[in-house]
Amino acid sequence: MKYSETFLSEAYALTEYLHSEQSLLSTLRWILELKNYQSQDPGKFIYKKENTRVFLAIVDDLEHLNTDYRCKFYTSLTADDIVVTDNLILRPTCATVINLPQSWFGIYSYTPEHTAPPDRAYSFKTRRIDSIRQEIFLELHYRLHHFEDGYVSFDCSDHSSDQSTESKQKLWHQAWITHSPETKQKYQLSFDQLSEQIPYTNHDIEIDQAYSRSMLNIVIETYSSEHAVALSEKTFRALVTPRLWTLYSGKHSVAYLRSLGFDVMDDLIDHNSYDTLSHNQDKVTEFIAASNPMVKRFDWQDIENRCNQAAEHNQNILSQFKQQWPDDFATWLQQFVQQV
């Protein structure tokens, strides 16, 4: 999936979630500046006044705001610090955490318009390259030996302006170097077979069409920390699409979605086999193991009604969140102004 596809997707066109994210951040930054907080880093949303630092982690994982990679981020937070976030923080911290109302997720409310029946078993689409994404991609190939039954693309890009094939192949090889000898031994054959095809894609349809035309959507969230759950449109696109899905994200992400009332189709997918794990607990293997049987176990006719039921339920929850958000935000904003 290329970055440009973000602005062509149904999720963006029907929700304009990026505008909502940017508008919220602009409002919070404006309030902080009115209260004489000073920006600490032009590339990160960190503000400071006297001994108090305010971290704005909206959609991005809180650890993304770390400015000193020599220390562990959470232990560097103090009792004077304030964290404003939509993340679910999973570990104790000395900082004051101000969570957005859960109705914030209503910015992702929409009903997919693509309704083509599945013609492939699964989809796997990711844009950015890092060692975890590469490992998931290699594990999928290791298990299936080929990608003929899925809509698969791995753009292998980063945030640089150089988006050439040569640059992406370089990033692919750089990620490979970071793996342990055991990981390299396991995936060497798959790595060799795929290296000449990077950036990889075996289709020319957009992401929403791929989601609709796949029986299972293998979703890779932007962040997969064991310390926080950070969700984006990637997750909610899967929830509102009437198809099976698995989610590689932060530890307990699916459990968090379940607690919010979403139908995660536990009767069809063994999310718990991977959702409770950290990356160093062989999460990648368990994740693909949970995904793999799904593309072989069911006929679409057997699960179509169940998938439609789950998607409709999840669409209704997000629609309710969207309706609740303006009032929830007005109340929340008053409290935020008082706390900072």
Q: Which CATH number fits domain 120-315: 1.10.10, 3.40.50, 3.90.550, 3.30.70?
A: 3.40.50
User: Among residues 235, 228, 250, 246, which one has the least CA distance to residue 314?
Assistant: 235
In whole angstroms, what is the distance from residue 187 CA to residue 124 CA? 18
Give the pLDDT confidence of 103-134 residue by residue, as tens digits: 999 999 999 987 788 999 999 999 999 999 99
Average of pLDDT values for 62-90? 91
The mean pLDDT of 83-94, rounded to a whole number, is: 96
pLDDT value for 159: 76
Which pLDDT score, from 0 to 100, does residue 294 have? Answer: 60
Please report, for the chain, the start and end positions of each structural domain, with discontinuous segments joined by +.
3-104+324-339, 120-315
214: pLDDT strictly greater than 80: yes
Q: 132-141, 153-162, 181-190, 244-253: lowest mean pLDDT where?
A: 153-162
Report the percentage of the chain scoring pLDDT > 70.
95
Asked if residue 3 has pLDDT above 50, the reply is: no
d(CA 185, CA 176): 11
| Per-position DSSP letters for 57-82, written without gaps between them | ESSS-GGGG-S-TTS-HHHH--TT-E
State residue 82 phi and psi, 5-degree precision: -125, 130
Task: State phi, psi for 89 to the nearest 5 degrees.
Answer: -80, 125
Residue 297, pLDDT score? 65
Cα(first)–Cα(last) distance of the chain, in Å?
A: 39
CB 208 within 8 A of CB 194: no
pLDDT digits (tens, 9 = 90+) for 142-160: 999 999 999 999 999 987 7
Say whether 118 sits in a helix, a strand or coil: coil
Question: Measured between alpha carbons, how far is 332 from 325 in angstroms, rounded to an integer?
Answer: 10
Question: pTM for the whole thing?
Answer: 0.94
Report DSSP state, residue 112.
-
Q: In angstroms, rounded to a whole number, what is the distance separating the alpha carbons of residues 8 and 4?
A: 7
Residue 300 has pLDDT above 90, yes or no: no
Residue 179 has pLDDT above 60, yes or no: yes
Calculate the average pLDDT of the chain.
93
pLDDT band with cut points at 50, 70 and 90 for residue 184: very high
Residues near 309 by beta carbon (within 8 Å), at least 6 away in sequence = 263
- What is the predicted pLDDT for the residue at 90? 95
Q: Is the pLDDT confidence value at 7 over 70?
A: no
Question: Is the pLDDT at 266 greater than 50, yes or no?
Answer: yes
DSSP tag of 129: -
Mean pLDDT of 48-61: 96
- For the cut 90, the answer to whether the pLDDT of residue 97 exceeds it is yes
Give the mean model confidence (pLDDT) for residues 328-340: 97
Spacing of C-alpha 57 from chain mean position: 14
Where residue 6 falls among pLDDT bands split at 50, 70, 90? low
pLDDT at 138: 98
Work out the pLDDT band at 243, boundaries 50, 70, 90.
very high
Q: Is the pLDDT of residue 38 over 60?
A: yes
**Tally of CB atoms within 10 A around 228:** 22
Which pairs with CB-CB distance under 8 Å and at least 24 residues apart come from 261-267?
A: 261/317, 262/313, 262/314, 262/317, 263/309, 263/310, 263/313, 263/314, 264/310, 265/306, 265/307, 265/310, 267/306
Q: How far apart are CA 70 and CA 142, in angstroms?
A: 35
DSSP letters of 191-209?
HHHHHTTPSEES--S-HHH
Contact 55, 29 (CB under 8 A): no
Q: Cα–Cα distance between 224 and 300 in angstroms, integer?
A: 30
Residue 8 has pLDDT above 70, yes or no: no
